[in-house]
Amino acid sequence: MVVAPTVAYDFPHPTNVSFNGRAVRMMGHVTMSNLLRREHIHLKLGRLLDVSGGVISSAENLPVVKINGVDAQSTTTLKSGDVIEFHNGQDVTEPSETEYLREGSGNPQFLLGTAAITLKHGLDSGITVPLTSKPVPGPKAVALTFDDGPNPGYTERVLDVLKSKHVHATFFVVGRMANAYPDLVKRELKEGNLVGDHSWSHPMLAHRSDASARDELQHTRDLLRKLGATVTVFRPPYGSYTRSTVSIASSLGLRTVVWSADPSDYRRPPVGTIVARVMSQVRPGTIILMHDGGGDRSNTIAALPIIIDNLRKQGYSFETLS
């Protein structure tokens, strides 16, 4: 009689852990990274956002990884009974102040008329976001403004729409773009539009020294004057400014102009979205922000005649920021 040898099989033992309050069972040697892969979780850093939703820092908050209340790493080996807490890094918005301006048409300017406006001002970025405004007494007027040009292939098409609709607008031009495409600036002026200063290189001016900010504004202003513009207005890129920025602009003969309606067309939403956002934000005295520069502006151009027609149907006229 032949007796078969006994074979001992060493089966892996299960690892039973609590993961964010839920029981999880895994087999064999298990690390934190094994568990995250099993749960289809990708590590993400929390971002610091400005008050307009833009990213100031992409790595503001790290993920929270704790085992039994102690900070752990992805290579940490797990044992049965471990209690694991995991949360990806959370986005946070910069600290801000809310400000109420009794004179929205002051300096900085947010409205065409004298009504008040409530603002949120980011303390890290210097970005200011209009929240609510009261309708301006008097005639129903708005200002169309376009930023970041001139932009070949798009600025011309914006001008074509304005000309066909017999509307004038204000173009806040970037100095280096005006230097590259002076004929587009000259056309803006020739067709009765106002041209304003939008800095030379489009920086976040709240983060610049006074000397750098002055150079950005003065360099652009002087170029635009050579191209035939009477430059009286300045718009800070991203709406980022400080009291010092406004003071520097004033010393150069420039009134700081922000806006009171922003459809975020720079993100290229659908045409209907741009139209709906403008129409929902418009009040008498609104300064509308749109873009002819900074990339493909086809949706803005398609939305523009619809916006103009809709505003006219509601009794609005159009002004420049003289």
Can you state the angle between helices 210-226 and 243-251, rounded to 10 degrees? 40
The number of CA neighbours under 13 Å toward the Cβ of 230 is 6
Mean pLDDT for 270-289 is 97
Whether the predicted pLDDT of 7 surpasses 80:
no
Catalytic residue among 147, 148, 262, 292: 147
The radius of gyration of the chain's CA atoms, rounded to the nearest angstrom, is 28
Q: What does the block give as tokens for 128? A: 């200011």
Q: pLDDT > 70: what percent of the chain?
A: 96
CB count, 10 Å around CB of 8? 5
* Paired strand residues for 24: 17
8 A C-beta contact, residue 48 and residue 94: yes
Spatial neighbors of 239 by CB under 8 A, at least 6 apart, are 52, 127, 128, 129, 258, 259
Q: In this predicted model, what pLDDT tens digit does every residue of 42-86 receive, in sequence order?
A: 889 999 999 999 999 998 899 999 999 999 888 899 999 999 999
Q: Taking residues 1-21, what's their average pLDDT?
A: 71
For the residues 291-310, what does the mean pLDDT come to?
A: 98
Residues 287/110, Cβ–Cβ less than 8 Å: yes
Judge contact between 120 and 128, C-beta under 8 A: yes
The CATH architecture of the domain made up of 96-319 is: Alpha-Beta Barrel (3.20)
Average pLDDT over residues 255-263: 97
Strand partners, 195: 171
Collapsing DSSP to helix, strand or coil, 111 comes out as strand
CB 172 within 8 A of CB 196: yes
Label residue 25 by pLDDT band (50, 70, 90): very high
Q: Would you state the pLDDT for residue 11?
A: 58
pTM of the model: 0.86
The answer to whether the peptide bond before residue 182 is cis (omega within 30 degrees of 0) is: no
In Å, how far are 77, 177, 226, 267, 300 from 294, measured between CA atoms?
A: 49, 10, 24, 10, 12
Residue in 128, 131, 129 with CA at minimum distance from that of residue 116: 131
Phi, psi of 44 (to 5 degrees): -135, 140
pLDDT of the residue at 172: 98
How far is Cα 316 from Cα 282, in angstroms, rounded to an integer? 10
State the residue for tokens 């045409």. Answer: 271
* Marked catalytic residue, from 168, 198, 202, 291: 291
* Residue 139 confidence (pLDDT): 87
pLDDT tens digit string along 110-156?
Answer: 999 989 999 999 999 999 999 999 888 888 999 999 999 999 999 99
AA identity, residue 40: H
The pLDDT-based confidence of 9 (bands split at 50, 70, 90) is low
In total, the chain counts a number of residues equal to: 322
Q: Which of 228, 237, 230, 231 is nearest to 198 (CA)?
A: 237
pLDDT given at position 220: 98
Burial call 149-178: b when 16+ CB within 10 Å, e when fewer: bbbeebbbbbbebbeeeebbbbbbbbbebb
Q: Which CATH class is domain 14-93?
A: alpha beta
Domain map of the chain by residue range?
Answer: 14-93, 96-319
Look up residue 186 and give its two tokens. 């000259």
Q: Which of 187, 189, 194 is nearest to 152 (CA)?
A: 187
Known catalytic membership, residue 147: yes
